[in-house]
Structure formats: C-alpha cells, structure tokens
Amino acid sequence: MMPVQITGMMVLQMVVSGLLAGGLYALVALGLSLIFGVMRVINVAHGALLMLGAYTTYWLFAWFGMNPFLSLLLSVPILFVIGAILQTLFVHRVVYAPELSSLLLTFGISIFIANVAMLAWSADYRSVEFLTGSFILGQIAVSKPRLVSFAVALGLTGLAFLFLNRTKTGKAIRATSEHRDVAQVCGINVRRIDWITFGLGAGLAGAGGSLVSVMFAVYPEMGQIYVFKSFLVIVLGGAGNYPGAFFGGLLLGLVEGLASLFLTAQLSEVIAYILLVIILLVRPTGLLGGRT
C-alpha cells in the first residue's frame, strides 16, 4: 500500500464525518439504553426494528415520493406500536427471567423479522435518493444527507430527553429504571411503563432507520451491525445512563472516523471491538459512569 501523508485537514474532515455518524449512533443507542435501563433486557432485535423503520421510509418514498424526513412522522409511531406489541406479547414474559431467556427471545424475534422482510421484499439493496451532494466549507466536504440526518437525530434525541425529564410518564420511566421495585411500591404501574418504554425504544430505532435510509443502502440485514454498535455506545456511555448514550454515540463516530483514516475502513470494526473489550474490562460502568 502507498503510504499517504495524513494532513491536519484530513483529520478534521474525519472528525466532522465521524461526529455526523455519531449523532445517529446516539439516537439509535438511546432506544437500546432505555429498554435495558427499565427492563434489564438487551434487545437484540433493535437492529431489525431499525430495518423496519428504514423500509417504511423507503416504501413511502418509492410509492408516494414522500420526503424521507417527513416519513419519520409515520415510521416512529408505526415502530412504537410494533414495539409495544412485541413487549406485551413476548418480552414481558421474560422480564424477570434469567438474562439468557430475554437475549435468546429477542434474538429469535430479530431473526424472524429479518427473514420475513427477506421473503416480502427480497434481499436486494435499495436506496432512497433524495438528498445528494455536499456542502463545501473551506476544504471540508460535508455530505448533505448526513448533515440533515445529523440535525434531525439531534433534534429527536433532544425531544426524547425533554420527554424523559419533563413529562410525568418520562419521570416514571426514569424512576423504574432507577429502581424497579421501589417505583412499583410508589404506585408506578411498571407493566405500563414497560410497554411504553419498549415502544419508545422501538420508535427511536425506527427513526434511526429512516435517517440511515437516506445515506446507506436499505436491505433486510442492514440492522445487524447497529445492534453491536448501539451496544458499544451504551457501554461507552455507561449502561442505563441516558446522557451517556449521547456522548457515547459521538465518541464511537469519532473513533471510527479516525480509525478509518489511520488504518483502513475494513479494520475499523476490529478497532471498535477491541475498544469494547478494553472498556468493559477497565471501566465496566462505562466511561461516563453508570449502573452495573
């Protein structure tokens, strides 16, 4: 391989691209973190839900030419309902069971959803060609779809925080995640909080999928990689630490961006993995602290 001179501009470019990607990771990971916080369930089906969000946007765009960012108004509620149904039918039965059960259960759900999607829509790669091109700022190129997606992701994350901090239901979710039994004793209907949380988590995954579809190919197994990434993000930020998920997302984007510059894009996943294992060992509560 030809050695390439790495300039400060290139580093800055990767920092910007990395952060843009990171905003999206933060949004997707927040959903996983919420569900984990409240139910101690790692929802392995999170990626499959993201994929459903992406297809919602794709079909609305393909059939009606709907603006993909407007389609969030549909993908989020649709995924909320799917999440709430999954919770009520399946997941609530394993909330108190050993982790093995909930992991395997959501793993099974994930495989099921992905393969039904393959049957229904084939394994073809599809794309939503809506925004293309880049803004040029000095010597830095910022892709338009990424920038808009980042802004929307940030906005949605902000809304989610407002919901968690200001509304009664949001506070109940945080209380349940702090201490499930105490919350119940205090009169919070945790069963209700469970399905709202799962719906919310799925809705956030769906929103992430809608935003991903503007930038990358849409196909049934597209979500798989996001399960691992979201998990990495909540480990970085501290499990059950919701602001941590936000910073963890940006951090992962940054690390990936720089890894692809200094190494190769192919190995950035390997770097992310090594990072995960090291963090888990050194600071199991996450870089920003959290609950174990």
Partner 1 sequence: MMTGVLGLLLAAVGGLAILPLFASGYLISFTIQVFMWMALAGSWNLISGFTGYVSFGHVAFFGIGAYTGGLLITKAGWHWLPAGLAGCLPAVALALVIGYPCLRLKGPYFAIAMLGLNEVVRALVSYFEGFTGGGSGVSLPPILSIVPVYYAMGGVAVAVTLLTYRIITSQFGLRLLSIREDEIAAEVMGINTALLKLYAFLLSAAFPGIVGGFYAWYASHIEPLSVFPLLTTITMIIMCLFGGQGTVLGPVLGAVLLSVFQELVWARFLFVHQAIFGALIVGVVLLMPRGILGVLQERYRLPRTI
Among 235, 236, 250, 252, interactor with partner 1 by CB under 8 A: 235
- Only one of the segments 20-28, 144-152, 207-215, 231-239 lies at the binding site for partner 1 (rule: CB under 8 A); that segment is 231-239
CA pair distance 185, 195, nearest whole angstrom: 19
Total residues contacting partner 1 (rule CB under 8 A)?
46
Residue 146, SS3 per DSSP: helix
Strand partners, 142: 135
Report 251-270 residues binding partner 1 (CB under 8 A): 264, 266-267, 269-270
- Rounded to whole angstroms, the Cα distance separating 287 from 291 reads 11
Candidates 33, 88, 82; CA nearest to 240 is 33
Query: By C-beta, is 121 or 161 nearer to partner 1?
Result: 121
DSSP 231-283: HHHHHHH-TT-HHHHHHHHHHHHHHHHHHHHHS-HHHHHHHHHHHHHHHHHH-
Closest CA to 148 of 162, 135, 163: 135
CB 117, min distance to partner 1, A: 9
Rule CB under 8 A: is residue 125 a binding residue for partner 1? Answer: no
Stretch that binds partner 1, among 2-10, 92-100, 126-134, 253-261 (CB under 8 A): 92-100
Shortest gap between Cβ of 84 and partner 1 (angstroms)? 17
- Specify the residue, 46 or 146, whose C-beta has the smaller distance to partner 1: 46
Instruction: With contacts defined by CB under 8 A, name the span among 67-75, 131-139, 222-230, 241-249 that binds partner 1.
Output: 222-230
The 11-40 site mask, x for binding partner 1 (CB under 8 A), equals: -------------------------x----
Both structure tokens of 37: 């916080």
Tell me how far apart the alpha carbons of residues 212 and 153 are, in angstroms, rounded to a whole number.
10
Tokens at residue 184, please? Answer: 């119940």
In the range 200-219, which residues lie near partner 1 by CB under 8 A? none
Residue 282: both structure tokens together: 């050194």
Closest to partner 1 by CB, 69 vs 219, is: 219
